Amino acid sequence: MNTYDELKQRIEQALESVRDYLRSDGGDVRVHAIHPDTGVVELELLGNCESCSMSNMTMKAGLEQVIFRSAPEIKKVVAVKPVA
């Protein structure tokens, strides 16, 4: 497994740890892109998470924190619009 695949696996596992919480409110999250060179992860908030007034809090207090703990080389997590 190369370094990118290992990083992606750690990020996916981190998101899996909070996925049940998101799904309980009708939402979900998907990794859109990982940029190891800049330390940026782009996430798509799906379902109810797309339009929820708490989505910013979910991103900062939830998703961002679990990713930072699992992948300290990641410096920034951003939300992008879901791709159809």
CA distances from 56 to 19, 25, 53, 80 (A): 16, 15, 7, 12
| pLDDT < 50 regions, the chain | none
What pLDDT was estimated at residue 17? Answer: 94
What pLDDT was estimated at residue 75? Answer: 97
Question: Residue ranges of the domains in the chain?
Answer: 3-80
What pLDDT was estimated at residue 1? Answer: 64
CATH class of 3-80: alpha beta
- pTM (two decimals): 0.87
